[in-house]
A = this chain, B = another copy of it.
């Protein structure tokens, strides 16, 4: 590393005015030159969506003080990372931080999460990346514990690096900072959402649905993110975007006749 401070791209999926991104920008600023490119509206559950059928707009904002270059973007979290690298920073940042998400992105939620997909997009581009989430959906959430552990983890990634093809999914329990027992490196728990649809009738007599559901963890392992969070630890799951299932390759070669 040269003497220059690292360039740190910060984004999220809750939108640029959420308290969670402000908390993350504060911590990131201690480590480098921060550039913020984040959605202009809430984008929770957008997964790895990109905007192909519509145009994108970006606009300079001054939400984080004069020192920090910040843009809101009309697109998804993944769009924010793409346009940040290609049009705003015009080079790859040294680090991409996404969050701090208002609510959990543990286990299977990594798949649905715009927060984690933004970090994954940076990782595909060869940029070290971390998604941070606090297990508190409230806009009034206390981010002090999350900030403390974000600081420790950012320090580690800058000092000790990360393998290529790997990003980090960090979840922080909703506990006072002194009650958090530490950090565990975990695997993704096997869990899923059991959908329920709330069926309603609109004023014109038409039927519509709201997606709701129940989170079901059917994984009893003590090496999972769900276990760590339930037991007072911050969870770090190293995540990959090579989705190849090696066991599936062996299975098909052995049992299929094609």
Contact = CB atoms under 8 A, between A and B. Distances in A.
Contact of A111 (B45, B243, B248): B243
Given A47-B49, A237-B243, 5 more contacts: A45-B52, A49-B112, A57-B207, A86-B195, A241-B243
Interface string A80-107: 0011011100000000000000000000
Interface residues of A, number: 81
A210 B112 contact: no
A166 B195 CA distance: 21
Contact of A251 (B51, B53, B211, B238): B238
Interface of A: 42, 44-53, 55-58, 76, 78-79, 82-83, 85-87, 108, 110-112, 117, 120, 124-125, 152-153, 156, 160-163, 165-166, 168, 182-183, 185-188, 190, 192, 195-197, 199-200, 206-211, 236-249, 251-253, 255-258
Contacts of A112: 48-50, 78
A85 B243 contact: no
Interface of A is mostly: mixed
A140 to B, nearest CB: 20
B56 A45 contact: no
Contact of A166 (B50, B117, B240, B248): B248
A258 B46 contact: no
Contacts of A207: 57
Given A207-B57, A211-B56, A162 B124 contact: no
Given A51-B45, A249-B238, A124 B111 contact: yes
A228 B108 CA distance: 31
A123 to B, nearest CB: 10
